Amino acid sequence: MYAKRIARERERIEKVQSHVGIPDRSYDACFAAVETDPEFGKQIRVALAASEDVYREVETLRVTMAKHEVPKTKGMRAQGAGYGRIDLSSGSIYWMVVLKDGSSTIISRRSLADRLRGDTESDNGEPPELGS
């Protein structure tokens, strides 16, 4: 089912690594596991789905702070990039970032850290949500 996709990805990695003196062979075991064990592939898909929201939030914060751009806009300057405030209830820093549609969201360092660790609650005792 995924044989063509795996072949394309292997080819892409081989091409990228052709410029490296010592290629990274760590991918081989993962490809073999996906090809031989359908349950492993399912576990990978579940893990990717579970991490998608927090990954996108980290990406949004990184682009705003590192590039001083509104994410996914190719050059629209972010206002107040890198300007953080202290959350008086938790002591954690948070940032307000502008999104592509012109809205904004608040991203808390504490919430990101908790979600990346897989914790089920954020600093206010509530389940973590995107932008909290």
Q: Rounded to whole angstroms, what are the CA distances from 6 to 33, 40, 74?
A: 11, 14, 31
The DSSP-derived string for 1-42 is: --HHHHHHHHHHHHHHHTTSSS---HHHHHHHHHHH-HHHHH
| Average pLDDT score over residue span 7-29 | 86
Average pLDDT value for the chain: 84
Least confident of 65-69, 96-100, 106-110, 128-132: 128-132
Q: Give the residue from 125, 122, 124, 104 showing the smallest Cα distance to 113.
A: 122
Tokens 């789905």: give the residue.
Answer: 49
Q: Structural domain boundaries of the chain?
A: 37-117
**Adjacent-strand bridge partners of 97:** 105
Question: Which of 57 and 75 is assigned the larger pLDDT?
Answer: 57
